[in-house]
Amino acid sequence: MPAPHNSFKARLKSGETQIGLWLGLGDPSVAELASHTGFDWLVIDGEHGPNGLRDVLAQLRAIGDRCSPVVRVRNDDRAEIKQMLDVGAQTLLVPMIETAAQAAEVVRSIRYAPRGARGVGAALARASSYNAIPDYLQTAETELCLLLQVESTKGIEALDDILQVEGVDGVFIGPADLAADMNHLGKPDAPEVQAVVNDALTRIRAAGRAAGILTSNRSLAAGYQDMGVEFLAVGSDVGVLMGGLKALRSAF
């Protein structure tokens, strides 16, 4: 019996746009609720959200197989990546990637030796259904999906080299940090920023990789979808809750 099938990874190659939602509240009940609303993928945010290892584990369990969970780790730390994989994350989003060498090391972090450097301990872990999947070690890599987040001018300058790294399934452009690095702090919708974003998304897709981005701007989201971006997040639990509550209050 092989490792569980990663439908998110499989669909990245289908030509469709998978629509996602960001989970920043770090709450399993919110994750469970969101998993019933029809989104293709949900990001469990371990970079900016209040999420530790057990928080991520709880949300993975809450989401189940109703949609595809994507775990954004804090950084490219190999030990944290190993733990997230062992608790059952199959799709990782790794932020702040700026060089091809850094990207290659992240690839090594998700692969077992001799192709990589992931520690072998899955027999104790949820990833292998607690060793109920006897050939997990041999089949895990096929079902893992690695998304790298490029969000600085240095990363944009190195994008073409990053895209040549074997083992990278997709590249996500982080518009907020990119805007800040371009001296447009808090203004990711600025025309100068969007010109760089759109060029980057086009280059990613031209290189045969999946392209992704997050925006709560519906006009921009529609444009990205028309462009064919493969994984598009269109909001967050925080934004939807705040907006809905404000709208409800204003009605009275």
**At which residue do the structure tokens 């890599």 appear?**
141
Q: Would you kindly state where each structural domain of the chain is located, as residue ranges?
A: 7-250
**Amino acid of residue 218:** R
**1 pLDDT tier (thresholds 50, 70, 90):** confident
Q: Give tens-digit pLDDT for 114-124.
A: 999 999 999 99
Active site residue 184: no
Q: For the segment 209-235, what is each residue's pLDDT rounded down to a tens digit? A: 999 999 999 999 999 999 999 999 999
Q: How much helix, strand and coil, in percent to the nearest 5, is found in the chain?
A: 45, 15, 40
| Given 5, 36, 48, 184, the catalytic residue | 48
- Tell me which fold the domain 7-250 belongs to: TIM Barrel (3.20.20)
